[in-house]
Every structure is written in structure tokens, then in C-alpha cells.
Amino acid sequence: MKSFRSAILLALLVGLCIGGAAPARAGSGTPEDPWIIGMSQCNLAEPWRAQMNKDIADAAAAHPEVRAIFKDAQNDTLVQRQHIEEFVNQGVDVLLVSPKEAVPLTEPVARAYQAGIPVMVLDRRIMGDQYTTFIGADNKLIGQAVGRWIARQTGGTGNIVELKGLMTSTPGQDRHSGFLKGIEGTDLKVIFEADMEWLEPKARQEMESALARFPDIDVVYGHNDPAAHGAYLAARAAGRADEMIFVGIDALPHEGKRYVEEGILDASFEYPTGGREAVATAVEILLGKEAPKEIVLPSRFFTADNVKDNGLWLEEAGLIDMPGEEPSNLEPNQPVIEERLRIGEEVGEDIKELPTD
Ligand code: FRU
């Protein structure tokens, strides 16, 4: 009985310590005791994410006052939620998160932010405004630029296969809606679309189905370069690669850009990782400066014509209207919100009740 009572007392004390105060800070910003930047990466199996982590590690290495530590959720949302909680309990000085999907990661990010940790969301968005800074390129504008470029290349007519990124992540949604806007008013038609979840093997499989069903395919639009490459391999295996053009997004030097140089892809649109900007902004925040809520990164594109000159900016090529315009993906995105509520229910949390400040 006595030990039961002391166990309760201990639990209460621990509860008070954990629940009560803001988390202790990890470092003090000196080379001997650096500030800790915790980076929650949703998945490291793709080259683009390996590049993002490398950009963060390289940028942090140039700042002896910070140290970056990494966790890889291996494309598992629940594991990523857990990683974020671990970083919060550890009391990292800044948290970076590149979330797998918007809805289920909203809540743990909001809790980290409310615990007083500056949180920077990278590349894929979460819902609401419970984070310090978002850094990423404008996926709606990129999607729109892809659409306009394809319209120019094809004279505005033809059949398109669209291999979409994970549609519970905001880049997948925005690259799709932006693209539809880009081909608006043309005779281009999306005859087949599938969610390849950002994965090359899945894209290849979906392309095999598209090839089996459609004798006339003029364009493949992959939401990332692995998808466009997977589709190319499927078309080549079917002896049909020469009948169509292949367009992807990311343009890593050793991936999409190289595919363009090799004539595998007809175009690749750059999707900067934001890793360096994230560290620079984290350092500013740690030095007590105010960070902007949104940092929108510009994007280039590469084709056989311009790849030797290191690509062209989308504005330069007239593929987006107004440089400096408000980023188009700041508006509330209804399908994402609905998805948020649905998945929120599934994982047993009431997102509608999330405290806002
Ligand atoms: C990597 C990736 C990139 C894509 C980005 C979108 O996981 O699929 O290819 O551009 O995520 O968030």
C-alpha cells in the first residue's frame, strides 16, 4: 500500500515536471555547448530528401554555434509524430520538420510550437498556422508553369498521363491544381491519372496500366522526377518511349537535371530543398531575430536547350505571371482541410479543438 502511494506521488511529481514548464533548452549557442537543431525528415529513401538533409548538415557545419541532429521516419506518419514528440521532450532549440502529410502531422507540430520551441516546416505544409516559419517553393506556381510549358511544346493539344504525388501531402495537391490551371483553355486532356505516392516503382506500375489502356499518349507529367523516370522506363520497355514527352519536378543535379542531359526527360522543374535557408533562418531565430512566416523559394527549369546554361527561371521564360505575387498556396485548401478532419478522426484526435494560441 505504502509503495502504491509513493508510486502515485512519484507519478504526480513527474507529471508536474513534464506538463508544467516549457522544455529546457538543449544548448547555449557556443561551440562547446551548441544550440541543437532537431530535424524530423519524413523519409530518406529518395535522393531529394537525402539532398535536403545534406544541405542542412553542410549549412550547420559552417555554424559552430549550432549542431543539427536528424531522425528519419522512413515514410511512416506515426513514426514521424513520435519523432517530433521525442525532439520536444528532449528540448531541442529549434525543430525542423518536413512532414510526410499535412493532416496527421499538424497536431504534433502545433504542440511543439505551443511548448515554446521555434518550429520550421519545410517543403510540405501542415494545416493552420501553429508553426514559426514555412520554407518551400510554390508548388501551385510550379504546376502551372509545367502546364504552360507543355501547352507550348504540344501546340496545346494532346493526351496526358499525370502521375500524382501523395495526395494527402500539399505538394501533390498543389502540383495538380496548378497544372490544371496551366492547361486551362487548351485542348490538352488528362486521360489517365494516378497517385504514385512520390515513389518511382509505383509510378512505373501505374504507367504500365496507362500504356495498356491508351494507344495515344503524348505527354507524361510526373509530379517528381522519379515518377517521370519510372514512366519512361515503362514506356521504353513497351517500345513506346519515342511517342511521348516526359516532364518531372525536382531537377537535382544528379537526378532530373542529368535525365534531361541524357535525353530521358524533356524537362525538369527545380524544387529547391530549402535546407540551407532553414539553417540560416534557425540561426537568426536563435539570435533573437524575428523570422518571416513564409519563405517562398524561386524555381528554374531545365530542358535540352537551356541545361548547359544552368536552366531558366520560370519568370524569365514567361511561365508564371507575376514575380513577387502573393504565393498562391496560402489560401485555405478545402480538400486538405476535409482530409485533415478525416485522418484526424482516424488517429483519434480532435483537430477542430486544437488550441490556437
Ligand atoms: C521526396 C519528394 C520529392 C518531391 C517532394 C515533395 O520525398 O517526393 O521528389 O519533390 O518530396 O514534397
Q: Coil, strand or helix: which one is 15? A: helix
Pocket of ligand 1 (CB under 6 A): 43, 46, 48-49, 123-124, 165, 169, 171, 198, 224, 249-250, 271
Mean pLDDT, residues 248-275: 98
Between these two residues, 26 and 177, which has the higher pLDDT value?
Answer: 177
DSSP element (H, E) containing 104: helix 102-114
From the list 323, 218, 286, the residue with the least C-alpha distance to 35 is 286
Q: Coil, strand or helix: which one is 253? A: coil
Between these two residues, 329 and 282, which has the higher pLDDT value?
Answer: 282
330 alpha carbon – ligand 1 mean position (Å): 19
CA–CA separation, 228 vs 200, rounded Å? 8
Q: What is the pLDDT of residue 25?
A: 66
Mean pLDDT, residues 187-207: 98
Mean pLDDT, residues 213-220: 98
Q: Place 322 in a pLDDT band, splitting at 50, 70 and 90.
A: low
User: Does the pLDDT at position 76 exceed 90?
Assistant: yes
CA–CA separation, 105 vs 123, rounded Å? 13
148 alpha carbon – ligand 1 mean position (Å): 21
Q: What percent of the chain has pLDDT over 90?
A: 82
User: Does the pLDDT at position 357 exceed 60?
Assistant: no
Q: For residues 302 and 256, is the Cβ–Cβ distance under 8 A? A: yes
CA–CA separation, 94 vs 87, rounded Å? 9
Amino acid at 21: A
From 77, 123, 175, the mutation candidate for ligand 1 (largest count of ligand atoms within 8 A of CB) is 123
pLDDT, tens only, 85-137? 999 999 999 999 999 999 999 999 999 999 999 999 999 999 999 999 999 99
pLDDT, tens only, 16-69? 333 334 445 678 899 999 999 999 999 999 999 999 999 999 999 999 999 999
pLDDT, tens only, 332-348? 333 433 443 443 444 34
Q: What is the pLDDT of residue 89?
A: 96
Q: Which atom of ligand 1 is nearest to the CA of 271?
A: 10
Q: What is the pLDDT of residue 350?
A: 40
User: Does the pLDDT at position 217 exceed 50?
Assistant: yes
Among protein residues, the one whose CA lies closest to atom 4 of ligand 1: 224
270 alpha carbon – ligand 1 mean position (Å): 11
Q: What is the pLDDT of residue 330?
A: 33
Q: Place 327 in a pLDDT band, splitting at 50, 70 and 90.
A: very low
Cα distances from 269 to residues 208, 260, 281, 302, in angstroms, run 24, 10, 25, 6
Pairing of strands 66-72, 35-41: parallel
Q: What is the pLDDT of residue 24?
A: 54
Q: What is the pLDDT of residue 26?
A: 75
Cα distances from 272 to residues 230, 253, 269, 277, 295, in angstroms, run 21, 11, 10, 10, 12
